[in-house]
């Protein structure tokens, strides 16, 4: 038995597949691809398949890591090709690698956010991001109960850049994505809207990569 990490690109209409849908889809895909999976022992054996960090619904991605455990001697390239032969439109296995880091080592996610333009967009967004104060309400837990917590998104940001293109304003930003701190791009846009007084309407959001605490690639 060995573990491999499947890296998946999710684009177009596939971005509307939920995390649960993706779990079911990948389980069917590995079976259709006739990949020799490793199964747990016991009364109810099941294959091991784990997404490192669930993707928010409506977000595209270039780098979704999925760990699976295999039997047999299939190479990583053979696993990649077998899966791509059965993947639906909008989903592509970009590579299959031997894992180095554990999913729990993920600390940040890097996003590209493409916004519809508005007057003074670049300067207003830059000023808000530089302010150090981007309050937002986030659903969390207190014991067994769900509660709304006040958070400062500025404390969950890494490096960022804002630029204006022909018909859009693009934000490239690193957001916390670990088990202790986690900020979605949607929460960032809500905070920016509140601070700037402008409605942040996005054309597309793409997760470009996952990073370790030292900003190295996961």
Residue 109 clears pLDDT 90, i.e. is over it? yes
pLDDT band at 106 (very low <50, low <70, confident <90, very high): very high
Phi then psi for residue 104, to 5 deg, are -65, -10
Residue 105 clears pLDDT 90, i.e. is over it? yes
Q: How confident is the prediction for the chain on average, in pLDDT?
A: 93
Considering the domain architecture, whether residues 69 and 153 belong to the same structural domain is answered as: no
Tens of pLDDT, residue by residue over 146-198, are 788 899 999 999 999 999 988 999 999 999 998 778 999 999 999 999 999 99
pLDDT band at 14 (very low <50, low <70, confident <90, very high): very high
Residue 62 clears pLDDT 80, i.e. is over it? yes
Q: Which domain holds residue 204?
A: 105-211
Considering the domain architecture, whether residues 115 and 72 belong to the same structural domain is answered as: no
Chosen domain end from 73, 100, 127: 100
Q: What is the pLDDT of residue 143?
A: 65
Q: What is the pLDDT of residue 115?
A: 97
- In sign, the C-alpha dihedral spanning 135, 209, 61, 139 is negative
The bridge status of strand 169-176 relative to strand 108-115 is antiparallel
Within the chain, strands assigned E span 2-10, 49-51, 60-70, 91-97, 108-115, 135-142, 145-152, 157-164, 169-176, 202-211
Q: Is residue 218 part of a domain?
A: no
List beta partners, residue 148. Answer: 139
Considering the domain architecture, whether residues 69 and 151 belong to the same structural domain is answered as: no
Q: What is the CATH number of the domain that holds 141?
A: 3.30.70.3190
Considering the domain architecture, whether residues 7 and 69 belong to the same structural domain is answered as: yes
Q: What is the pLDDT of residue 21?
A: 96
Q: Is residue 192 part of a domain?
A: yes
Q: Is residue 163 part of a domain?
A: yes
Q: Is residue 93 part of a domain?
A: yes
Q: What is the pLDDT of residue 142?
A: 67
Q: What is the CATH number of the domain that holds 24?
A: 3.30.70.580
Q: What is the pLDDT of residue 13?
A: 95
d(CA 48, CA 129): 41
By percentage, how much of the chain surpasses pLDDT 70?
99
Considering the domain architecture, whether residues 91 and 109 belong to the same structural domain is answered as: no
Considering the domain architecture, whether residues 71 and 92 belong to the same structural domain is answered as: yes
Q: Is residue 201 part of a domain?
A: yes
Q: What is the pLDDT of residue 39?
A: 84
Q: Is residue 166 part of a domain?
A: yes
**Is 212 within 8 Å of 103 (Cβ atoms)?**
no
Q: Tell me the pTM.
A: 0.91
Considering the domain architecture, whether residues 23 and 8 belong to the same structural domain is answered as: yes
Chosen domain end from 100, 122, 140: 100
Q: What is the pLDDT of residue 41?
A: 78
Q: What is the pLDDT of residue 103?
A: 93
Considering the domain architecture, whether residues 152 and 205 belong to the same structural domain is answered as: yes
Q: What is the pLDDT of residue 81?
A: 97
Q: Which residue has the tokens 């299939």?
A: 74
Q: What is the pLDDT of residue 146?
A: 77
Q: Give the CA distances from residue 71 to residues 4, 5, 93, in Å, rounded to whole numbers and listed in that order.
A: 11, 14, 20
Question: How many domains does the chain divide into?
Answer: 2
Tens of pLDDT, residue by residue over 42-60, are 778 878 899 999 999 999 9
Residue 209 clears pLDDT 90, i.e. is over it? yes
Chosen domain end from 59, 74, 100: 100
Considering the domain architecture, whether residues 85 and 110 belong to the same structural domain is answered as: no
Q: What is the pLDDT of residue 40?
A: 80
List beta partners, residue 68. Answer: 4, 49
């Amino acid at each position: 038995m060995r573990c491999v990490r499947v890296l998946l690109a999710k684009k177009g209409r596939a971005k509307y597949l939920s995390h649960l849908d993706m779990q079911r889809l990948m389980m069917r895909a590995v079976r259709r691809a006739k990949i020799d999976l490793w199964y747990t022992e016991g009364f109810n054996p099941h294959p091991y398949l784990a997404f490192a960090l669930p993707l928010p619904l409506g977000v595209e991605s270039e780098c979704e890591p999925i760990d699976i455990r295999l039997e047999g001697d299939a190479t990583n390239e053979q696993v990649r090709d077998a899966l791509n032969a059965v993947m639906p439109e909008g989903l592509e296995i970009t590579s299959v690698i031997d894992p180095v880091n554990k999913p729990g080592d993920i600390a940040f996610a890097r996003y590209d956010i493409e916004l519809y333009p508005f007057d003074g967009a670049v300067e207003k967004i830059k000023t808000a991001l530089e302010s150090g104060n981007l309050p937002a309400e986030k659903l969390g837990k207190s014991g067994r109960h769900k509660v709304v917590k006040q958070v400062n998104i500025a404390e969950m940001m890494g490096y960022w850049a804002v630029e204006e293109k022909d018909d859009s304003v693009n934000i490239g930003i690193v957001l916390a994505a670990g088990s202790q701190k986690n900020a979605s791009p949607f929460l960032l846009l809500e905070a920016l809207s509140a601070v700037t007084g402008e409605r942040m309407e996005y054309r597309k959001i793409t997760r470009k990569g996952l990073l370790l605490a030292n900003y190295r690639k996961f």
